């Protein structure tokens, strides 16, 4: 079985996921994993589907035909996955919201060779003030040669500038 990576977007309404699942099942596909979310009235997601090689084109065509129902799909090329050469850690970040905070944090991660595997962000009112807080939860791939302490120190330097709190956890 080969895999397809499918990105989906549509106006959020009941039945979007069911339509996708029915289409995949009708073409012999198996829904393996997904990340989906509602945001600002839109539904968006990415999923990995396995299907026999001879079913790929009919499945792709059927998924693309869902555009008539307002469901847009894009396909990504699937490359064979190498075994990870990093250790997974989580990062929790909370701070005063401001433009550029994601850019600044991801720049530090990139400089350290850290892979950003998952990122969930939101803004919310700060308790007891009119400030807006930025929150992020991330799953990171830490290079084997990079210690958690070194990454923590590098991010704390940035955190002082951004007025954020960082909490890293993982196996060392």
Which residue ranges make up each domain of the chain? 2-76, 86-170
Q: What is the DSSP string of 56-103?
A: HHHHHHHHHHGGGGT-EEEEEPPPPPPPP-EEEEEEEEEEE--TTHHH
What percent of the chain shows pLDDT beyond 70?
90
Residue 20: its pLDDT value, please?
97
* pLDDT category of residue 170 using cuts at 50, 70 and 90: low
End-to-end CA distance of the chain: 36
User: Helices (DSSP H) in the chain: which residue ranges?
Assistant: 16-26, 56-65, 101-111, 148-162
In this prediction, residue 1 carries a pLDDT of 59
Centroid of chain to Cα 50: 20
Any idea which fold 2-76 has? Alpha-Beta Plaits (3.30.70)
CATH class of 86-170: alpha beta
What does the pLDDT average to over 17-44?
Answer: 96
pLDDT in tens, 35-48: 999 999 999 999 99
Which residues lie closer than 8 Å to 56 by C-beta, 6 or more apart?
A: 2, 4
Average pLDDT, the chain: 89
Tens of pLDDT, residue by residue over 68-127, are: 999 999 999 777 766 668 888 999 888 888 899 899 999 999 999 999 999 999 999 988
CA distance 52 to 2: 6
150 pLDDT higher than 70? yes
Neighbours of 126 (CB within 10 A): 13
pLDDT band, residue 171 (cuts 50/70/90): low
> What pLDDT is attached to residue 7?
97
pLDDT at 22 over 90: yes
- Per-residue pLDDT at 164: 62
Contact 11, 43 (CB under 8 A): yes
Please indicate whether the domains covering 2-76 and 86-170 agree at the CATH topology level: yes
| Residue 31 predicted with pLDDT over 80 | yes
SS3 15: coil
Q: Which two tokens stand for residue 120?
A: 């969930």
d(CA 146, CA 130): 39
50 against 164, higher pLDDT = 50
């Amino acid at each position: 079985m080969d895999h397809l990576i499918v990105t989906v977007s549509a106006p959020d309404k009941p039945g979007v996921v069911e339509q996708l699942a029915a289409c995949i099942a009708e073409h012999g596909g198996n829904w393996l994993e997904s990340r989906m979310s509602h945001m600002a009235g839109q539904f968006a997601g990415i999923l990995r589907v396995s299907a026999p090689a001879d079913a790929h084109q009919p499945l792709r065509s059927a998924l693309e035909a869902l555009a008539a129902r307002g469901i847009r799909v894009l396909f990504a090329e699937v490359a064979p996955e190498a075994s990870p050469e990093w250790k997974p850690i989580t990062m929790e970040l909370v701070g005063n919201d401001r433009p550029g905070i994601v850019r600044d944090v991801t720049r530090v991660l990139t400089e350290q060779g850290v892979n950003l595997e998952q990122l969930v962000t939101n803004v919310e009112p700060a308790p007891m003030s009119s400030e807006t807080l930025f929150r992020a939860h991330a799953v990171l791939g830490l290079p084997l040669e990079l210690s958690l302490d070194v990454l923590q120190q590098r991010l704390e330097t940035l955190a002082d500038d951004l007025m954020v709190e960082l909490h890293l956890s993982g196996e060392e």
